[in-house]
Structure 1
Amino acid sequence: MKKRRLFLFTVILAIAIIVGNYHLSVASSVGKETLTMITSPDYPPYEFYETQGSDRKIVGFDIDIANYIRQKLGFKLNIAQSDFNGLIPALQAKRADFVMAGMTPTPERRENIDFSIIYYEAKDTLVALKSSNLRKSEDLAGKIIGVQLGTIQEQNGKQIAETVNIQLKQLNKVSEIVQEIKAGRIDAAIVEDTVALGFVKANSDLEFNVIPSIENASGSAIAFPKGSQLVKPFNDVLQQMKNNGELERLSKKWFSITPTSEVSTSPAPKKDRLNLDFRRIIPDIPFILKGIPLTLLFTLSSVFLGLFWGTALSFFKISGIKPLGWFANIYTSIFRGTPLLLQLSLVYFATPQLTGYDISALQAGILTFTLNSGAYMSETIRGGIQAVDKGQFEAAMSMGVTYWMMMWDVILPQALKNILPALVNETIGLLKDSSLVATIGVVEILRSAQIVGANRYIYFEPLLFAGLIYYVLVMGLSFGASALERKLRRSD
């Protein structure tokens, strides 16, 4: 019996060593134990959030391919997200090891990043109202055409513009483009067939038709930083998936309805009215609500840190020390004179390259908003300090209180009491501006609503529900501030 146990133990140990060595050798072939993939999860069926319930899981065609490659090459997969036009900058800033987002390898992109072989061929289509009779490039003369910013469809729109007189309108999301068609601001849009199909099914007044001249122009590939060692092993697995039918199986799973180049023969219905039906987002409400804690964490952290930084800057300005005053004034002018979105992008993308620290999207958001709100708060706090009666200064000085003790115990409490309404307004502004962090991949309230809208091919219902959440939060904040202000007045 002991010999059998010893033999069994030896066999298990040998298998463990072999498997362990296999995984080590595979991991070493890709250079890292964990690879980060970045995507734009608002593009079903390629990648999108599974919004049923509160779990935030990104699924889709590209995700299944990435997981298959992960299994074959033996690395752990970390999935990050961004808007589509932020994917290549994130790759260049070394925030990710590869991009999968239905991206087409154009010559312009190849100058800056590397690509794998094509793993899926798609067709570009014209999405328009059924009554518009826009079916091919020649029909677009004199029309306004919508395209998604940074996509191959934008490039194809420019290609059409070389031969046909059209005006391009670039927007960040396909859902926004569809709403522009329905509102009559644009005449048609160039959208990939698999994506167009979902919007046409959800909007009975729309149709889509394959553009013959660029019928085979779109193909999806994996993007890598220039000179990446991952290209060859990824290509080997993709080729294997083509040979063994795995890519075809996944295509059928996610693109089960055959893309059509046929024109619908059904009569064109009247233009859809704005018929709101909030029942369509009931299953997704927990997903949207999960953005509330993140929004509050972001806002309160930024306000708290910004208050301290703004107080320090205000002291610099009134200290009488010229270098500190110059620094504070220049700093304030820079952060008040440049767009907040620009500051956010610079902090998020430039920090890893300048410092080597891979700052997270949430950290970048809190840091940016702290620096920005500190600049605004410094002026408010400085005004509050200078509004305190000079007799308070003189009384404290005559009693032998040191300058900094006087500022901390006597002047600053009175100044903060006077500027409380202004600080509340700054907090409310930060709460609403927190939606900007969605551009670098933070899934807060507004981003959650946009994801639900993209998945459901609807627009207004999730956004209006998000607006209701913001309104409730702002009213709660205003009520709490009013109660605090009344309490401080009674304590006078």
Structure 2
Amino acid sequence: MLMLFFTVIPLASAAQDNQKVITVGLSADFPPYEFHKKIDGTDQIVGSDVEIAKRIAADMGATLQIQDIPFDSLLPALNSGRIDMIISGMTPTEERRQNVDFSESYYISRQVIMTRVEDKDKYTSVDSLQGAAIGVQKGSIQEGIAKDIKGAKLTSVDRIADIVLSLESGRVDAAVMEGPVAEGQVANHDDLAITSATIPDSDTEMAIAVKKGNAELLGHINGTLAKLKQGDQVKKFVQDATALNSGEQQKSNNIFTIFWDYRQYYIKGIQYTLLLSAAGVLFGFLIGLVVALFRLSNVGILRWIAVTYTEILRGTPMLVQLLIIHYGIAQTFHIEFSVLESGIITLSINSSAYLAEIFRAGIQGVDRGQMEAARSLGMSHGMTMRSIIIPQAVKSVLPAIGNEFIVIIKESSIVSFIGVADLMFQAQAVRSITYSALNPLLIAAAIYFIMTFVLSKLLGMLERRWSVSDKR
């Protein structure tokens, strides 16, 4: 039922919308190429790569849509058809060429070593990094460079902000990073510096990735890039984006200042988080109740379906379920859910597996004599379950249901992995804007705590209200 509901929505909206749209995927924590910036009070994704994407869409007479996706999820998103192209400072390596097609290169970047100021003279060459702990972005060309350093201990993370936090906290000794990206970080962190170390043959090309065999789109892209190269406009885009980013340095990293200045980000994130959690528990409640009844059925095939469903969902990580629903179904069955729909479906089915067992325990906890008494009065089995057994079961397991709601609020943060603008996603955006690696996360943690604390108190009040009749 839930899968059918969300399958019809994208198909219906696609039929109604004839506007030509080109969707670009990028990881918007990579200034000056792509990054979040607050402009006229609204969050926008800007940067040199964004400007190139705008030119490509304009030349094609299409509307540009931007999806902010973690870097190591960009290729799965492209191959599953969720985006049309990737423009995120991506290097066209031979390994990547086996899976996607690349445009002509549009920019050449250099790689540098960034470290703490006090260690700037310690790492003056690649050889001096032997045995050091090095931070890199997961799935990037920098990760490949660091792997070639003898004895290096790699810490691969999704976002540049996490590399900076690891460096400042002493968890890594240095980081391999794009030159302009490192310059932006150093300009906004007094405790960081770029070393004099040079990485041999580290100048890397940047190109735009499209799905394998999409020659038509590739032709449009290369045509636009050729025009941009003639006027040396890409270099100007990078310079303009660098200047735009350099003016964003946070005057104060005070946690209260950050919260107030970027409160709209957190408000929007709270709205998405509550929507995801409420929808997840609602659909999970309905599906879980059906699964619980299947589990208690006298029909063997229904019991087998319920047991298999429950064990698979409880025995696999939610992240894996999310990626299968969002990317796997799109690639295999060509059914594309929006990021919000994928998040709701994942939370719903995952929650339903746990709620099914909660309901089963509640139903089995109701005295069997009540079923027998109802049947002796002429009530059918279905009527007895609806009117007598299930209401008592729900009442008895209300604390467990409330606890599942609280768990879903916290676990909903996982959907930020596919680009849902929930509270965690917004916190990451604020990190990119303010160059404050820790405080935006502390604010998000405080908000999660407030939401779950208030909910637990409300559930406690409801439980006490329902229990009044038991004391009469």
TM over 0.5: yes
- Give the structure 2 partner of residue 110 of structure 1: 97
Write the deviation string for residues 137-194 of structure 1: whole angstroms up to 9, x where unpaired: 01112211111100010111123x2xx3322221111211222122222111101111
1:397–1:96 Cα change, 3 Å:
same
Matched residue, 1:144: 133
Q: CA deviation at 1:479?
A: 1.9
Aligned to 2:113: 126
Question: What secondary structure sits across from 1:153 in the alignment?
Answer: helix
Residues 1:177 and 2:163 are matched in the alignment: yes
1:341 aligns with 2:319: yes
* Structure-2 change in CA distance of 1:214 and 1:334 (3 Å): same
TM-superposed deviation, 1:216: 4.2
Q: Is the 8 A contact 1:311 1:378 kept in 2?
A: yes
Distance 1:417 1:195, change over 3 A: same
Whether 1:212 aligns to 2:178 is no
SS in 2 for 1:491: helix
Alpha-carbon separation, structure 1, partners of 2:447 and 2:38: 18
Shift in Å, 1:281 = 4.7
Residue 241, structure 1, aligned to residue 219, structure 2: no
Given candidates 54, 58, 64, the residue that maps to 2:45 is 58
Query: Cα deviations across residues 220-246 of structure 1 (Å, max 9, x unaligned)?
Result: 211111111211221121111111232
Opposite residue 377 of structure 2, the aligned amino acid is M
- 1:77-113 Cα shifts (integer Å, max 9, x gaps): 1222211100001111111110111111111111111
Distance 1:52 1:394 in 2: 67
SS for the counterpart of 2:83 is: coil
Q: How does 1:442-461 map to 2 (within 5 A)?
A: 442-461=420-439
2:222 aligned with 1:222, yes or no? no
CA distance in 2: counterparts of 1:78 and 1:437, whole angstroms: 20
CA contact (8 A) 1:149 1:172 kept: yes
Equivalent in 314, 339, 349 of residue 292 of structure 2:
314
Structure 1 regions of 5+ residues with no counterpart? Answer: 1-30, 260-274
Distance apart, 1:364 and its partner CA: 0.8
2:13 matched to which residue of 1?
Answer: none
* Secondary structure in structure 2 of the residue aligned to 1:250: helix
Contact 2:123 2:197 survives alignment (8 Å): no
Q: Alignment partner of 2:195: what SS?
A: strand
Residue 278 (structure 1) aligned to one of 256, 262, 265? 256
Instruction: Give the letter aligned to residue 315 of structure 2.
Output: G
Amino acid of the structure 1 residue aligned with 2:30: Y
Report the equivalent of 1:201.
187
CA distance in 1, matches of 2:277, 2:245: 46
8 Å contact kept, 1:438–1:444: yes
Match of 2:384 in 1: 406
Question: 1:27 corresponds to which residue?
Answer: none
In the other structure, the counterpart of 2:349 is 371
Partner-residue secondary structure (3-state), 1:213: coil
What are the superposed Cα offsets for residues 237-294 of structure 1, whole Å, 9 maximum, x if unpaired?
11111112322321220134999xxxxxxxxxxxxxxx85432453222122211111
Quote the Cα distance in structure 1 between the aligned partners of 2:335 and 2:244: 45
Output the CA distance in 1 between the equivalents of 2:278 and 2:188. Answer: 39
Aligned: 1:358 with 2:336: yes
Q: CA deviation at 1:32?
A: 8.6
Shift of 1:120: 1.8
Equivalent residue, structure 2, for 1:73 = 60
Identity of matched residues, %: 36
After TM superposition, the structure 1 = structure 2 runs for residues 321-332 of structure 1, keeping only pairs within 5 Å, are 321-332=299-310
Equivalent pairs, count: 445
Q: Distance in 2 between matches of 1:207 and 1:59?
A: 25
- Measure how far apart 1:55 and its partner are: 3.0
Taking a change above 3 Å as real, the CA distance of residues 62 and 358 of structure 1, as seen in their structure-2 partners, is: same
Is 1:420 the counterpart of 2:406 in the alignment?
A: no
What is the letter of the counterpart of residue 228 of structure 1?
N
Distance 1:218 1:473, change over 3 A: same
In structure 2, relative to structure 1, the CA distance for the partners of 1:215 and 1:280 (3 Å cut) is: farther
In 2: Cα distance, 1:46 partner to 1:186 partner? 25
2:266 aligned with 1:288, yes or no?
yes
Between stretches 62-71 and 43-52, larger displacement belongs to 43-52
Equivalent residues of 1:39, 1:79 under 8 A apart: yes
- For 1:374 and 1:292, locate their aligned partners in 2 and report how far apart those are by CA, in whole Å: 23
The one-letter code sitting in structure 1 at the alignment partner of 2:236 is R
Matching residue of 1:158: 147
Q: How far off is 1:400 after superposition?
A: 0.9
TM-score under structure 2 length normalisation: 0.90
Distance 2:99 2:172 in 1: 32
TM-score when scaled to structure 1? 0.86
Q: CA deviation at 1:346?
A: 0.6
Q: How far off its partner does 1:469 sit?
A: 1.3
Q: Does 1:304 align with 2:282?
A: yes
**Unmatched segments (≥5 aa) in structure 2:** 1-17, 247-252
Matched residue of 1:212: which SS?
Answer: coil
Task: Determine the C-alpha separation between the residues in 2 that align with 1:456 and 1:394.
Answer: 65
Q: Does 1:251 align with 2:241?
A: no
| Corresponding letter in the other structure for 1:298 | L
Match of 1:394 in 2: 372
Residue number in structure 2 paired with 1:472: 450
Per-residue deviation at 1:215? Answer: 5.6
2:236 aligns to what SS in structure 1?
helix
CA offset at residue 208 of structure 1? 1.0
2-structure distance, mates of 1:406, 1:289? 45
Matched AA of 1:240: K
Please give the per-residue CA displacement for 1:311-338, whole angstroms capped at 9, x wherever unaligned: 0011011111111111111111111111
In the alignment, which residue of structure 1 is the partner of 2:3?
none
CA distance in 1, matches of 2:168, 2:147: 23
